[in-house]
Amino acid sequence: MKKRLLFLLAAMLLCRGLGYGQKLTEKHIREVMQQAYNQFKNSSGGANASYIPYLANIDPELYGIAICTSDGKVLELGDTKYEFGIESISKVFVLALAMQQRGAKAVEDSIGVNATGMPFNSVMAVELNPQRAVNPLVNAGAMATNSFIRAPGSAAKWALIDDMMAKFASRRLSVIQQLYASETATNLHNRAIAWLLYSYGRFYDDISESVDLYTRACSYGSSTRDLAIMAGTLANSGVNPVTKEKVIDAVLCPRILATMITEGLYDDTGAWVYHTGVPAKSGVGGGIIAVVPGKMAIAVFAPPLDKSGNSIKAQKTLQYIIDELKLNLLLPHG
């Protein structure tokens, strides 16, 4: 009788460890990371972003996976220390700053929070919506969000952005100057979008300064490790799991994650959510972050992109890890 009880107890503990809606073990997470790495390391397909010359020249073989658990463990595999262009992933954290400063409702009213279903630099997304509302995670919405942050001048606004990024990452990030120069020389389309929003009364500060701040934020260098910790802060209700510092109010996290669910992978977001059930955000630098609230965040970096501008290898890796660890948020809870 005693033996049977012990057996039952051992079986229960094993199931908990395997993460059937319960706590995942570090060993299991590491095994799954390694399996994904082995499986996709040599997979090919896609191409580096070429419309920003600096990005076209990044080694397409670079590959890193990092996971930050809500209790602050950072697990890494591959090129996780290499610093690459954060690009559109910065939009999530500038949005966090705007929401913290102006409130979630003000962002909803003044920028918009709905899905566009269109490419990240779409003009039609602005034209077709009668309120000219755009999601803060597409270029139009991100530049408008930048303009929505209040500060006594451009330098002061940059200081706010820089501090916010540092709190999320647990270290101060630096702008890759060559990337910033490369983007500034080629961002005419973004400038046109900003003027269009301005013509509809949906831009809230100096146009060229706001576009410049947006471009500079996209040009931050971040490692896969940095991104895992930054996203880990969103998974941990706004408290950085490594430094334990409160970065933003907990109530804002579900709102930010909702914009990732609707727009994180642009015109491919529907298919992404269909397959994974997890909010994610990509950047044309090759990074993608995925956030599983209360559990962990996963960041993957691999430069070659698909047509929507999302890293192909990072998507495959994330999908594998999410499946194996049963992280899909649309699975039954409990």
Task: Verify binding: residue 268, ligand GLN, rule CB under 6 A.
Answer: no
Among 139, 145, 170, 236, interactor with ligand GLN by CB under 6 A: 139
313: left (phi over 0), alpha (psi -120 to 50) or beta: alpha
Task: Verify binding: residue 309, ligand GLN, rule CB under 6 A.
Answer: yes
User: Given the complex with ligand GLN, which of 88 and 240 has the nearer CB atom?
Assistant: 88
Cβ 284 to ligand GLN shortest distance, Å:
4
Task: Verify binding: residue 276, ligand GLN, rule CB under 6 A.
Answer: no
CA–CA separation, 169 vs 255, rounded Å?
20
Cβ 62 to ligand GLN shortest distance, Å:
17
**Total residues binding ligand GLN (CB under 6 A):** 11
Task: Verify binding: residue 140, ligand GLN, rule CB under 6 A.
Answer: no
CA–CA separation, 252 vs 293, rounded Å?
12
Residue identified by tokens 């630099």 is 121
DSSP lists the bridge partners of residue 84 as 222
**Residue 236, SS3 per DSSP:** coil
Cβ atoms within 10 Å, residue 268: 18
Strand segments, DSSP code E, in the chain are 64-69, 74-78, 84-85, 174-175, 220-222, 280-282, 287-292, 296-301
Among 76, 87, 226, 267, interactor with ligand GLN by CB under 6 A: 87
Task: Verify binding: residue 303, ligand GLN, rule CB under 6 A.
Answer: no
Task: Verify binding: residue 283, ligand GLN, rule CB under 6 A.
Answer: yes
User: Given the complex with ligand GLN, which of 216 and 225 has the nearer CB atom?
Assistant: 216
Strand segments, DSSP code E, in 20-117 are 64-69, 74-78, 84-85
Task: Verify binding: residue 182, ligand GLN, rule CB under 6 A.
Answer: no
Task: Verify binding: residue 217, ligand GLN, rule CB under 6 A.
Answer: no
User: Given the complex with ligand GLN, which of 86 and 104 has the nearer CB atom?
Assistant: 86
Residue identified by tokens 């971040």 is 222
Task: Verify binding: residue 88, ligand GLN, rule CB under 6 A.
Answer: yes
User: Given the complex with ligand GLN, which of 63 and 120 has the nearer CB atom?
Assistant: 120
User: Given the complex with ligand GLN, which of 280 and 296 has the nearer CB atom?
Assistant: 280
Task: Verify binding: residue 190, ligand GLN, rule CB under 6 A.
Answer: yes
Task: Verify binding: residue 121, ligand GLN, rule CB under 6 A.
Answer: yes
Q: Report strand pairing: 280-282 vs 287-292.
A: antiparallel
Q: Are 298 and 80 in contact (CB under 8 A)?
A: no
Binding marks (x or -) toward ligand GLN, 147..166, rule CB under 6 A?
--------------------
Cβ 156 to ligand GLN shortest distance, Å:
23
Task: Verify binding: residue 224, ligand GLN, rule CB under 6 A.
Answer: no
User: Given the complex with ligand GLN, which of 32 and 230 has the nearer CB atom?
Assistant: 230
**Residue 293, SS3 per DSSP:** coil
Task: Verify binding: residue 145, ligand GLN, rule CB under 6 A.
Answer: no
**Of 244, 234, 256, nearest to 99 (Cα)?**
256
Cβ 121 to ligand GLN shortest distance, Å:
6
Task: Verify binding: residue 76, ligand GLN, rule CB under 6 A.
Answer: no
Q: Are 84 and 319 in contact (CB under 8 A)?
A: no
Within 8 A by CB and 6+ apart from 254, the residues are 293
Task: Verify binding: residue 183, ligand GLN, rule CB under 6 A.
Answer: yes
Task: Verify binding: residue 284, ligand GLN, rule CB under 6 A.
Answer: yes
Please give the span between the terminal C-alpha atoms of the chain, in angstroms, as a whole number: 29
Within 8 A by CB and 6+ apart from 145, the residues are 91, 94, 95, 98, 107, 111, 136
Q: Are 142 and 136 in contact (CB under 8 A)?
A: yes
Q: Which residues lie near ligand GLN (CB under 6 A)?
A: 87-88, 120-121, 139, 183, 190, 218, 283-284, 309
